[in-house]
Structure 1
């Protein structure tokens, strides 16, 4: 169902319509650690004068919002995280969890700068001054349950709520957070890059990322498409780097990525290769 004409439920911030549809809401502790740590090191978070971050579609539990705040506050002690969900029952559950956090009965800091509200792609921030906009919106495992044709409209709606220079991080991961992919989208709603982040221990092939590509790309992993060519090239270099396997996947992965770079692929994020990450410009994988 299109984010432009979604089922609209009343009772959002200020009584406005909530834009979007309720998704499955699968939530696992530590599931989003890879993308959280990537955001924590991103210049957008470090340079903003107002480190307001939105966890959009956090799911059946507010734990991902608490984890996000805990990881980001190491880089920005003044970070604020607002968790948004369409389902009122999920908001109520997260607010009950927040009471436990405030009481010091959880592993999270009692003074965690976290709050929850009802909302969707319209990204309402009713509890904030009207002039405030988020520096970062993280929307993970949300658009995966929509149609590919819905993606651009959802990006545009969310990006319109960002600060100048802010970013939307939209992606997908498996249930344990061992296979993650995400797209960085600018405040102009234009995609900038694709990042793959894989658990290297026990990795058989980097093409496992194909199963968890964001909605904008998952149906494009076919011959003739750029993302298919990139994954094929990455897998080929992974196979050729087998000589590095005795030194561990942590050595094999950067060996494969360096070979990709030598072959002319614009692979980025060298400092994070050891973590099982690689980033490429959007033009490298953009649908034809």
Structure 2
């Protein structure tokens, strides 16, 4: 189920997303008896699935990755790259696996869809995630859906659990950033058309730019220090959910409810 994507991809394109997943979801993967991750819509070449396996296994060595593509020719082309822990399957949003995965990564998949279609896709994919298990402290599986530029310098993604959206993460190569609102062009489909006055995501990016401008004196210490100061100032009015160790990576994560379309804008 789904539509064939353009299939464009590049090695190392999804490194920022992968590293965030490994850092924030690694504990869930390590605890699981059979941790399975899905690279949904990996494209015309299998590089992103190969890289996802390597990065997740640094934190969770038993993780298996299944690359899922709706275009049969792409699956056939990826088969020679199968190895222990990595296989490729034909399929789409139905996620053709017997078990519920602990991770579904869908990068640059929904850009070609209409905004009105996103909620149904999210619901379908979240229903395929491994369920939460409070008895062992598990929040269940994670869906990470977002968009990045062609070489992975700028990336925005939404993280969802079985219960629905949790957070939005903005990630960038700091040396290439003029101002935080440059990331607006990489907003996922659920938000990209909402970057207009009156919408929370527009207010957030406005405040992000203002905080960046106010932190200009920190630029003499480097872009990283300026970013950290900027995010620290953002926490006054916005529910930033991550910690300075992630800010140092050129990231900031905000609660989904603060940026959700039609929500109450801060500031």
Shared fold (TM-score, shorter chain, > 0.5): yes
User: In the TM superposition, what are the counterparts of 1:1-288 in structure 2 within 5 Å?
Assistant: 19-43=1-25, 44-98=28-82, 111=84, 113-125=85-97, 130=98, 132-164=99-131, 165-188=140-163, 190-261=164-235, 263-270=236-243, 271-288=245-262
1:94 Cα deviation from its structure 2 partner: 0.7
CA distance in 2, matches of 1:175, 1:260: 28
Unaligned runs of 5+ in 2: 132-139, 263-267
Higher-Rg member (1/2):
1
1:201 Cα deviation from its structure 2 partner: 1.0
Question: Deviating runs (4+, > 4 A) in structure 1?
Answer: none
1:186 Cα deviation from its structure 2 partner: 1.2
1:280 Cα deviation from its structure 2 partner: 0.3
Contact 1:39 1:45 in 2 (8 A): no
Contact 1:205 1:238 in 2 (8 A): yes
Q: Secondary structure at 2:59's aligned position in 1?
A: coil
CA distance in 2, matches of 1:243, 1:49: 50
1:49 Cα deviation from its structure 2 partner: 3.3
CA distance in 1, matches of 2:237, 2:46: 42
Deviates more, 1:42-51 or 1:147-156: 42-51
CA distance in 1, matches of 2:212, 2:66: 39
1:278 Cα deviation from its structure 2 partner: 0.2
Instruction: Rate the CA distance shift 1:49–1:41 in 2: closer, same or farther, 3 A.
Output: farther
Task: Give the CA RMSD over aligned residues.
Answer: 1.1
Deviates more, 1:200-209 or 1:141-150: 200-209
CA distance in 2, matches of 1:42, 1:229: 27
CA distance in 2, matches of 1:203, 1:159: 33
CA distance in 2, matches of 1:202, 1:87: 34
CA distance in 2, matches of 1:50, 1:155: 24
Unaligned runs of 5+ in 1: 1-18, 103-110
- Using the size of structure 1 for normalisation, the TM-score is 0.85
CA distance in 1, matches of 2:250, 2:239: 17
CA distance in 2, matches of 1:153, 1:49: 30
Contact 1:50 1:135 in 2 (8 A): no
TM-superposition CA deviations, 1:219-276 (whole Å, max 9, x none): 0000000000001101100011000001110100000111111x32211212200010
1:183 Cα deviation from its structure 2 partner: 0.3
Contact 1:85 1:120 in 2 (8 A): yes
Residue equivalent to 1:5: none
